[in-house]
Amino acid sequence: MSSKRSSRRRFIKTSAALASLGAGMSLPVNAQIPRPPGYPPRRPDEHYDYGIRSPFVTSKRIGTNGQRGTDPREGRPRDYGFRTPHHELFGTITPSSLHFIINHGYDAPNIDPVEHRLMIHGLVERPVMLSLDDLYRLPAVSRVHFIECSGNSNVTGRRFYPGWLRTQPEATVQDTHGLASCSEWTGVLLSTLLEHVGVKKEAKWFIAEGAETGFHSKSIPMWKALDDAMVVYAQNGEPLRPEQGFPLRLLTPGFEGVNNVKWLRRIKFTDQPQLSKRETSNYTSERADGTFRWFEFENGTKSVITRPSGQMKLSGPGYHDITGIAYSGRGAITRVEVSTNGGRTWQDAEIQGTIHSKAFTRFRLPWLWKGEETVLMSRSTDDKGDVQPSVAEINQELGLNLSHEWLEAGNPGTSHFNGIQPWRVKRNGEVENALFTV
């Protein structure tokens, strides 16, 4: 189809959608829009000093910072970690105040940036201690990248409640995909720092360590330091927030979240991995034969429809805009397909805005819903040719049989789950999670 015909079709669909929305909603010329009852007065000082959001906007993260807490919506158990409300966001940049948080149960330390130092040592010619001012003097870059916890969308048995929730009909997109966010990050490429310290040829790994109570550390292969890893001091145009690692954090674009060490205080170059707790126990994947996968790094190609999604309700038959996000830890998104009939047929969605490598990409598709029950799905493809897999393809690759029955029996699930996410639209317009039921 030519681009002119495609544009005309989009115009006709958009015009029809606007016509259906605007029916019976005309106002006389010079009409005054009524002020909502109880509209609060402006508070200039709060607006001007830093800025506050409208009291009518209530988007927030959900989660806890300890062991299982309580979900304020229903009083049900909630695993730790604070999730991004993707169903209430637009575009591809996550507001810093809504970027997901995983701190492994520790609170953010209160670090004086003037006193903080970054030590770089190990297999280097010239070990250094760098202040924040030292880093400010070096060439800076700003890059748009997502961060995703390996547990985002993970599926596990009932014995591990957090993963079980994400397979249930009542799960929202915040439950299933809320441990991924995307920001513009500013800092210094780690490769720039390597030029100053002179890394020895024996160095095959580097170990990053944070300054929080638990001194979280992670071993990362050397090639990432030479590629696109960054020492970051700003997020979305302002200094990092404490929960995001102020004053410094490591950014390893496309790698699972645990590698993006916050409150960064030390980088040590070594000839082998450290084999710390988080890389030998917490962040491994169990296979059906009882063995475990270690040192998983890149997040797979992934997408999810954010509107309409779990626990939303369509207003009625007619045109609706299907929209969502797609991303890949290996590169840039080149294609997103959407199915409105449970995967029987697929059509290309429109990719919107600038496409960045290892970053969220927004997609949309106008959809005429006729009031029937159906299932919505999306699947993405990146510039390496990787296509988002189905649950059946994941099962085949990992030797699993992911299903409600499999998990109920206590069999292993998996992290790094990037399978296609289905949402069932009922005849009354209600939307529910349909994972493992289609």
Beta strand residue intervals within 136-273, DSSP E: 141-148, 180-189, 205-210, 217-221, 230-235, 238-239, 249-251, 264-270
CA-to-CA distance for 50 and 93, rounded, in angstroms? 20
- The owner of tokens 């126990």 is 281
Q: Please say whether the beta carbons of 158 and 416 come within 8 A.
A: no
Q: How far is CA 56 from CA 50, 89, 339, in A?
A: 18, 15, 34
List the domain boundaries for the chain: 62-292, 302-433
pLDDT by residue for the chain (438 residues), tens only, comes to 444 555 555 545 555 555 555 444 444 555 566 666 666 666 667 677 888 888 899 999 988 765 544 454 455 555 668 999 999 999 999 999 999 999 877 789 999 999 999 999 999 999 999 999 999 999 999 999 999 998 898 876 544 444 556 788 899 999 999 999 999 999 999 999 999 999 999 999 999 999 988 788 999 999 999 999 999 999 999 999 999 999 999 999 999 999 999 999 999 999 999 877 667 666 666 665 666 666 678 999 999 999 999 999 999 999 999 999 999 999 999 999 999 999 999 999 999 999 999 999 999 999 999 999 999 999 999 999 999 999 888 888 777 778 777 777 666 677 778 999 999 999 999 999 999 887
Q: Please say whether the beta carbons of 308 and 320 come within 8 A.
A: yes
Instruction: Give the homologous superfamily in CATH for domain 62-292.
Output: Oxidoreductase, molybdopterin-binding domain (3.90.420.10)
Burial degree of 310 (CB within 10 A; 0-12, 13-18, 19+): buried
CA-to-CA distance for 81 and 66, rounded, in angstroms? 8
CA-to-CA distance for 281 and 221, rounded, in angstroms? 18
Q: Please say whether the beta carbons of 243 and 97 come within 8 A.
A: no
Q: Please say whether the beta carbons of 331 and 417 come within 8 A.
A: no
Q: Please say whether the beta carbons of 204 and 210 come within 8 A.
A: no
The CATH fold assigned to 302-433 is Immunoglobulin-like (2.60.40)
